[in-house]
């Protein structure tokens, strides 16, 4: 009992020594590490179960939407973070002003992805074509994640920001473990 009280006191003292910025840094480092660990676990399991050929298909079906999402968002999530942090009272208005461009970016990205994947997998087995069709849902998810993270970071809401950063990787790894 006395030992647990001592630990609690030590943790409290350490937390007091760390200023808010240091706590944000520690939270960010923990979130980044947890996300990477989850990806390593999921990646190893998927690589072992898919084999060389299907791993290549899997990589292709993931990299195309990720590239299109990053290029297609035109830096708007980063700009949103900046402007929300600069004018927190206008966060709602700024977020609402991004709905239309984000929707256009998402629809354009999915359209380009559909055309690119139709070309890239046209001679591949049916299972790869089905997986390509399923992968069309990646860009909307990525865009929602990027804009959501941008708003949270701009509002300095780092705890939910870090949880949301880790959630996709952790959910992916948990899903892979379950399968």
Confidence check: pLDDT of 19 > 70: no
User: If you average pLDDT over residues 119-129, what whole number do you get?
Assistant: 94
Confidence check: pLDDT of 150 > 60: yes
pTM: 0.79
Give 39: exposed, middle or buried? Use CB within 10 Å, 0-12, 13-18, 19+.
middle
How much of the chain exceeds pLDDT 90, in percent?
58
User: If you average pLDDT over residues 110-135, what whole number do you get?
Assistant: 95
Confidence check: pLDDT of 13 > 70: no
User: If you average pLDDT over residues 109-127, what whole number do you get?
Assistant: 95
Confidence of residue 51 (pLDDT cuts 50, 70, 90): confident
User: If you average pLDDT over residues 78-106, what whole number do you get?
Assistant: 96
The residues near 175 (Cβ < 8 Å, ≥ 6 apart) are 42
């Amino acid at each position: 009992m006395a030992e647990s009280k001592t630990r609690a006191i030590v943790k409290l003292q350490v937390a007091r020594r760390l200023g808010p910025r240091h706590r944000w840094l520690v939270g960010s480092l923990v979130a980044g590490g947890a996300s990477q660990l989850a990806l390593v676990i999921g990646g190893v399991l998927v690589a072992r179960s898919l084999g060389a050929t299907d791993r290549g298909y899997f990589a292709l079906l993931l990299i195309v939407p990720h590239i299109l999402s990053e290029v297609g968002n035109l830096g708007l999530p980063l700009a949103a973070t900046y402007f929300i942090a600069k004018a927190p009272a206008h966060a709602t208005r700024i977020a609402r002003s991004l709905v239309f461009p984000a929707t256009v970016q998402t629809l354009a990205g999915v359209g380009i992805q559909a055309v690119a994947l139709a070309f890239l997998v046209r001679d591949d087995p049916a299972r790869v074509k089905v997986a390509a069709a399923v992968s069309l849902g990646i860009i909307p998810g990525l865009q929602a994640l990027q804009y959501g993270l941008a708003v949270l970071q701009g509002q300095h809401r780092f705890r939910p920001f870090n949880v949301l950063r880790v959630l996709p990787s952790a959910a992916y790894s948990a899903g892979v473990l379950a399968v």
